[in-house]
Amino acid sequence: MFGELFGRGGAGPSDQDWLQAMLDTEAALARAVERAGLAPAGAGAAVTAAARAENFDVAHIGRAAVLIGNPVSALVRALSAAVPPAAREAVHRGATSQDIIDTAVMLLARRGADVIDADLVAAADQAARLAREHTSTVMAGRTLLQQAVPVTFGLVAAGWLTAIDEARHELRVVRTTRLAVQFGGAAGTLASLGDAGPALAALLAEELGLSDPVLPWHTDRLRIVQLAAALAGVCAALGMVARNATLLAQTEVAEVAEGGDAPGQGGSSAMPHKRNPVVSVLILGCTRRAPGLLATLAAAAEQEHQRAAGAWHAEWETLSELLRLTGSAASWSASLLSGLRVDPARMRANLDATGGLPLAEHVSTVLAPALGRLAAHELVAAASDRAASQGVSLPEALLGHEPTAATLRAAGIGAAELAAAADPAGYLGAAAEFVRRALAAHGGTNGETQASVG
C-alpha cells in the first residue's frame, strides 16, 4: 500500500534482492575457492549457475532462519543440494554466516548507492538549472521564518545544489572506499583454511569487486555506521530542500508551486480546492525517519568479542529501510525540482509588501558615514518601528518624522538617496558570485561522479 510512496527509486533491497546478494557472495566464494586450488575445476561455474534467486524458496529459507537466527544455513543447504556433488565442497568453504550476510550488505549498499546517485545527479542538475535561470530573481531572505535582507532565488537554489552535491560526494566516498568483503570464518582467523585464508579472501574480494580489508571486521562496525551516516546526510540535504519548498508554497507566500499534470495531484479527500505540495511532503516523510535509523545503527555498533549477540541482527532491516527511504527521497527530489514552478512576481510583491524594512541594514550602512554607525542604527531602528506601526514604508517613516528628516537633510540625504538604499536589487552582496561558484563546483562534481560510477 505504501510502496509507491516510500519505496520509489528501487534503492531499497527486497527479500529477493537480499537472497540474490547472498547467493552472489556464495557463488563468488566458490569461484575463489576453485581459483585457489581448493575445489575441482568447474566447481565455481556450477555453483554460479545454480545461484539464482528464482531457483530458491525465499519464504522457506526465511522460516528456517529461526533455527540459527539467520537465513544462511538454510540457504547453504539449499544451494548445496542444487549443485553437482563434486562442486559441493566449494560451497561456503571457510565462511561463517556473518561473512555471507555482511558481504551481501556491501553488495546491496553498492547497488543502492548507484541508484541513489543517479537520482541525486538528476536532482542536482535541476537545482543548477534553477540557480542559473534565477540568478537575478530577487526575493526575501528569511531568518527565524521572518523576512530578513533580500536574496535571490538563484542563491536559494544554489544552496540546494551545493547541499545535494556535498551529500553525493560523501556517499560516493563511502561507496568507493568503505565497501569491503567480509571473510573471517568462525572467529575471524580463517583457521579452517590453514595458510590459504588470506589469499582466498583477496580472491573473493576480486571476484566481487569489493575492497579486501586489512582483517575481518565482524564486530568493527565502522563501515556500517559510515554508510548509514552518508545515507542520512543525503536525507538531511533533501529534507532541507523539501522543507523550503513547502514553506515557499504556502498559500500566503505562494512563491513556488509543485508541477505535475497528473489528475488529482495535490488534491485532498475533503477539500476540493486544495493543491498540496505532495511531492515535498513525501520527501519529508522519508527523510524524517533517517535520523532514527542512523541512531539504531550507531547504537548497534557496540558489539561483543568476535560476534555480537543481537546488535548485528539489528542492522539488517534497519539498513534496508534506510537505503529504501533514501532512494525514495532522492527519486522524489528529482521529480520535485524538475517540475518546480517559480513565481518571480510574487517574490517581489512579498518583498515590497514590507515597505523596505528588509533593507533597514542597508539604509543604516548608507547613513553611517554621515551620522556614525551607532547613531545611524538607532535612527533607522526607531524609523522601522514607526513604519511597522503606521503602515508606511521605511523611507516614508524616515522623511515623515521631522527631527529625523532634519538630521538627514543636514547630512545631504534626501528621498532619492533613501529610495536607492531601499532598492532590494542594490543590496544583494555576493549572491551572484556565490551562484557562480556553486555552478562551477557542480560541474566539477558531475565529472568526478560520472567517472567513478560509470
Distance CA 125, CA 127 (A): 5
Say if residue 368 is in the same domain as residue 300: no
Decide if 405 is inside a domain. Answer: yes
Question: In which domain, by residue range, is 397 found?
Answer: 356-421
Residue found by looking up cell 524609523 in the block: 383
Taking alpha carbons only, the member of 31, 22, 17, 26 closest to residue 102 is: 22
Decide if 110 is inside a domain. Answer: yes
Position 266 confidence tier, pLDDT thresholds 50, 70, 90? low
| Single-letter amino acid, residue 277 | P
Position 251 confidence tier, pLDDT thresholds 50, 70, 90? very high
pTM for this one? 0.92
Task: Rounding to the nearest 10 degrees, give the CA dihedral for residues 317, 318, 323, 324.
Answer: 60
Decide if 33 is inside a domain. Answer: no
CA gyration radius for the chain?
Answer: 30
Distance CA 230, CA 237 (A): 11
CATH code, 282: 1.20.200.10
Decide which of 294, 313, 346 is a domain's last residue: 346
Mean pLDDT lowest for which of 15-19, 65-69, 220-224, 269-273? 269-273
Angle separating helix axes 72-81 and 97-133, nearest 10 degrees: 110
- Quote the mean pLDDT of the chain: 94
Q: Identify whether the C-beta of residue 46 lies closer than 8 Å to the C-beta of residue 132.
A: no
SS3 305: coil
Decide if 208 is inside a domain. Answer: yes
Position 448 scores a pLDDT of 52
Position 275 scores a pLDDT of 75
Domain total for the chain? 2
| Single-letter amino acid, residue 425 | A
Task: Rounding to the nearest 10 degrees, give the CA dihedral for residues 17, 21, 23, 24.
Answer: 130
Residue found by looking up cell 583457521 in the block: 191
Position 451 scores a pLDDT of 38
Distance CA 298, CA 2 (A): 27
pLDDT tens digits, 337-385: 999 999 999 999 999 999 999 999 999 999 999 899 999 999 999 999 9
Distance CA 323, CA 343 (A): 34
Decide which of 300, 324, 346 is a domain's last residue: 346
Position 1 confidence tier, pLDDT thresholds 50, 70, 90? confident
Position 427 confidence tier, pLDDT thresholds 50, 70, 90? very high
Position 265 scores a pLDDT of 59
Q: Identify whether the C-beta of residue 165 lies closer than 8 Å to the C-beta of residue 441.
A: yes
Does the pLDDT of residue 277 top 90, yes or no? Answer: yes
Phi-psi region of 234 (alpha: psi -120 to 50; beta: other; left: phi over 0): alpha
Residues involved in catalysis: 268, 307
pLDDT tens digits, 191-247: 999 999 999 999 999 999 999 999 999 999 999 999 999 999 999 999 999 999 999
Say if residue 174 is in the same domain as residue 201: yes
Say if residue 253 is in the same domain as residue 310: yes
Position 2 scores a pLDDT of 84
Contacts of 426 (CB under 8 A, 6+ apart): 362, 420
Percentage of residues in the chain having pLDDT higher than 90 = 90
Say if residue 102 is in the same domain as residue 212: yes
Position 450 scores a pLDDT of 42
